[in-house]
Amino acid sequence: MTTNAYRPYEPLHAPKAFAEAVWIVDGPEIGMDYLGLTLPFPTRMTVVRLPSGALWIHSPIAWSDGLAAALSGLGPVRHLVAPNTLHYWFLPEWQERFPDARSYGAPGLARRAKRPLVLDESLGDAPPAAWEGAFDQCVVPGRLLTEVDFLHRASRTLILTDLIENFEPRRVRSPVLRWLMRLAGAADPDGKAPIDMQLSFIGHRRAVRAAVQRMLAWAPERIVLAHGRCYEANGTDELRRAFRWIL
């Protein structure tokens, strides 16, 4: 389902350089069902070129032939990553187009997915052999979602999905939606996990805190987010600010 709730990060379906060997690709909005409501969310995926030249695709967005053509100029798609138990919906379309790529998912995703999903490997705290040395990674477990987060070592780029949401109010067309985002604590310049997500980690707070401390020890310089403005500088400070609710 597409909506028109946000002023988009144009151009859409086009890789935009974010760091050395790292690109972000903004996609169309989708409607997510939550508590009986359909809430609009912009989409974004991250592309990393590994030392081998292969492309690593994080949180694939809706398929686009134009995007596929643009990616072909960057390298062969070999790894498709569904990083948490919410960001997986478009994975089968990418698997169909790139049958030689391996697919990876957050722990428990295959069981919790709301559409049939085939994964080659479930992710954990240790990188698979295919990208060992290129990334550090850690699992953040929870009831609402479990997420795997990644540090691209060469560029010091931390790649998150939903654990920080940083919607820019000026891009949100609806006054009601702007109010809800501020109420939830997911509005720029103080984006973070929205309050309902924070509460969902009750019972997992020790593990979440340990994961965040591990990410802080990585000392990222920049942070990619799936929703809202990314952080192109001061990554470690932004990470500490956004996770003050758990530290």
pLDDT tens digits, one per residue of 1-18: 446 899 999 999 999 999
pLDDT score for 3? 62
Instruction: Domain 16-242: give its CATH code.
Output: 3.60.15.10
Residue 28 CB partners (closer than 8 Å, separation 6+) = 2, 12, 43, 61, 62
List of the chain residues with pLDDT < 50:
1-2
DSSP β-bridge partners for residue 222: 157
DSSP letter assigned to residue 234: -
Which of 56-77 are b and which e, b meaning 16 or more Cβ less than 10 Å from the residue's Cβ? bbbbbbbebeebeebbeeebeb
pLDDT tens digits, one per residue of 97-125: 999 999 999 999 999 999 999 999 999 99
pLDDT tens digits, one per residue of 209-223: 999 999 999 999 999
